[in-house]
Structure 1
Amino acid sequence: MVSIRTHKLKQQIYKVIEVTHHHDRLGKLFDAFMIVLISLNVLAFTFETVDSVSIPHKSYFNDFETISVMIFTLEYGFRVWTCTLNPRYHHPILGRCKFVLSPLSIVDFISILPYYLFLVFPNLVFVRELHLLRLARLFKIGRYSESMRTLGTVISSKREDLFSALFTVFTLLMISSSLMYYAEHAAQPDRYPNIPASMWWGIITLTSVGYGDVAPITAIGRLLGGIIAVLGLGLVALPTGIIASGFAEEVEKKRAHLRRICPHCGEDLDRRRQNRNE
């Protein structure tokens, strides 16, 4: 009897915290609560660097951090406990080991790690560096946000196109930095001392930022700079276009999934009904 009740409880918890689409109100409330909690954690992390806010309210920040870590720890524990209901992690030991080593589980663990390290080792030297690990909580939103899951799907499906685009941008960066080094080194040895240093100019030029701290002064350097700046407008926009098209494809897939399709002819039944009504 106890094992049956425990299994039912396990199934209920799994249904609430599982990352699949929720059709129950409790699951949606849990997702919304976690998104709000993570957002507040990011805000707290930001304002802790403002002395006029963090010093007089340090106890409130500490209490909020403790409560947040307890919630994140419970969530992490429940996920490890219930992950065996997923066929991918069905084995009680090996399945849980596989789940713990999955990317999102590693993010969950890293997000709570600093708190327990400070608890066990209160005199740690690299305190500020460890605090940066708390930003991992921002990546947890991917578990609860449909938009973030869609972005992850788009990047995964378009990874080869994105790699090609980024490689093209990197190739242009290498060529432009090398050419600018040989064009400007004699005139500005302090600004273009070597090719790696010239890459700073290449990056800010290709991204159309142009800080102006490093700029060509020779005729050939300015000619190259103008050409590279124009090329950068198109090449740097390539990854954005790929992701945008991927989003459009993913949205269309979801719409097609929601539409009723005839299993025999593949016709859209909703559109057929609409045409009949017209």
Structure 2
Amino acid sequence: MRSIRKLTYAILEIGSNLNRLGAAIQIFLIALISLNVLCVILESMPSNNIQEHRWFNQFEVFSVIIFSIEYLARVWSSIENENIKHGHPVWSRIRYMLTPLALIDLLVILPFYLSMMMVVDLRFMRVLRLLRVFKLTRYSSSMSLLLQVLRREARSIGAALFMILMLIILASSLIFYAEHRAQPEAFNSIPAAMWWAIVTMTTLGYGDVIPITIMGKIMASIISIMSLGIVALPAGILASGFNEAIRERRRTYEKMVHMAIQDGVVDSIEQKALNQMRETLGISKEDAANIMHNSVNRSMEKHLERDMDKLRNEIDSVLHDRCPHCHYNVKWLERRKSKDDSNDSSDQ
């Protein structure tokens, strides 16, 4: 049973890194998710075709069955994940069920079962069914990288969003007191003025509500200039974190490549491990080839430099042992002199 569970975990979580079966299942699930999102979009179009609605319902039932089996299989095999293991298997599975991706897997099948037990608003069900698009994040290294950056930079992004919220409140309050008397319908309250503040700070400028007083125009100009840098803070934090995460992944792959080429040969096992690491980190084949090429060149340069240093030391030692006058090796002269002395003593 444990071997089956390990195989299930490897197929669902490792996928194409394992074998063709894992790759085929991943492709099937990605295609099914994409078709589900397409069906939700097409269902919103007005149509009186009964056969079409029947086909959509049958496809929905088929999709829910597949997604339910996938969800149960992931929960069952989750204890094979070293990062999830936590005491008793039940608690490990509960811990997995509370992870973001597992919650998304649950939410995409929940509307179907809710509709069987109670009357559910069709619009609410469609919104929840659209969450199936987030299942694609599991199969996209770029999306997983983005989620990783969001978790890492959560505090910085939260601080930037708090600053933006404070600026929105300040801007809407100031423009309300400046424009309320002149435009009581457009700026009838501070919450109503927040629409103008958001549109102005994000430089959209729809033009449906504009200040007409001199004080309002001055405040609008100041707010527009102040918001240019503050509103862009979250995007800058995300871009910086994204670049840093990409560099970290490249460094991780470079370390693994360096370890593989230390003996001068990359065998089949090491190559398979490198390919698996490349797919896990989301590094393209071209980048991986460049990293391998650069690592091999650096390794050859280090070996060449080490050999040159060794040769240089040998040459220096030989040069230092030569007589400055006759340029004969000093040690050879000493051995020759001692041999001559021993011969003279024997003749006597």
Give the partner amino acid of 1:33: F
Measure the CA separation in 1 of the matches of 2:149 and 2:48.
39
Alpha-carbon contact 1:31-1:145 (below 8 Å) kept: no
Per-residue deviation, 1:89: 3.4
Give the partner amino acid of 1:210: G
Out of 26, 29, 34, the position equivalent to 1:39 is 34
| CA gap 1:23/1:224 in 2 versus in 1, 3 angstroms | farther
Measure the CA separation in 1 of the matches of 2:218 and 2:251.
50
Measure the CA separation in 2 of the matches of 1:258 and 1:274.
19
RMSD: 2.5
| Correspondence for 1:119 | 116
Give the partner amino acid of 1:98: R
State the structure with bigger RCO (CA 8 A, min sep 6), 1 or 2: 1
Say which is worse superposed, 250-259 or 80-89, in terms of deviation. Answer: 80-89
Out of 98, 106, 111, the position equivalent to 1:109 is 106
Out of 141, 155, 158, the position equivalent to 2:150 is 155
| Correspondence for 1:273 | 299
| CA gap 1:109/1:178 in 2 versus in 1, 3 angstroms | same
Per-residue deviation, 1:269: 4.5
| CA gap 1:195/1:54 in 2 versus in 1, 3 angstroms | farther
Give the partner amino acid of 1:44: C
Per-residue deviation, 1:54: 7.0
1:172 aligns with 2:198: no
| Correspondence for 2:273 | none
Say which is worse superposed, 181-190 or 25-34, in terms of deviation. Answer: 25-34
Per-residue deviation, 1:48: 0.7
4+ aligned runs moved over 4 Å, structure 1: 53-56, 274-277
Alpha-carbon contact 2:6-2:77 (below 8 Å) kept: yes
| Correspondence for 2:10 | 15
Instruction: Give the TM-score normalised by the residue count of structure 1.
Output: 0.87
| CA gap 1:94/1:180 in 2 versus in 1, 3 angstroms | same
Measure the CA separation in 2 of the matches of 1:7 and 1:251.
36
| Correspondence for 1:205 | 200
| Correspondence for 1:265 | none
Gapped regions of structure 1 (runs ≥ 5): 1-5, 263-267
Per-residue deviation, 1:45: 0.8
| CA gap 1:272/1:37 in 2 versus in 1, 3 angstroms | same
| Correspondence for 1:3 | none
| Correspondence for 2:248 | 253
Per-residue deviation, 1:14: 0.5
Per-residue deviation, 1:52: 3.5
Alpha-carbon contact 1:69-1:115 (below 8 Å) kept: yes
1:89 aligns with 2:85: yes
| Correspondence for 2:280 | none
Give the partner amino acid of 2:38: L
Out of 94, 98, 123, the position equivalent to 2:95 is 98
Measure the CA separation in 1 of the matches of 2:56 and 2:170.
49
| Correspondence for 1:136 | 131
Show CA shifts across 1:196-230 (max 9, x none): 11111001111111121111111111121122223
Helix, strand or coil: the match of 2:221? helix
Give the partner amino acid of 2:95: K
Per-residue deviation, 1:26: 3.1
Per-residue deviation, 1:118: 2.0
Say which is worse superposed, 130-139 or 60-69, in terms of deviation. Answer: 130-139
| CA gap 1:19/1:193 in 2 versus in 1, 3 angstroms | farther
Say which is worse superposed, 19-28 or 73-82, in terms of deviation. Answer: 19-28
| CA gap 1:120/1:43 in 2 versus in 1, 3 angstroms | same
Per-residue deviation, 1:192: 0.8
| CA gap 1:54/1:182 in 2 versus in 1, 3 angstroms | farther
Aligned length: 267
Give the partner amino acid of 1:273: S
Mark the structure with the bigger radius of gyration.
Answer: 2
Show CA shifts across 1:106-159 (max 9, x none): 2211110111222344xx152322332112212222222111100001111111
Aligned-pair identity (%): 41
Alpha-carbon contact 1:47-1:53 (below 8 Å) kept: no
Measure the CA separation in 1 of the matches of 2:78 and 2:46.
42
Measure the CA separation in 2 of the matches of 1:125 and 1:158.
37
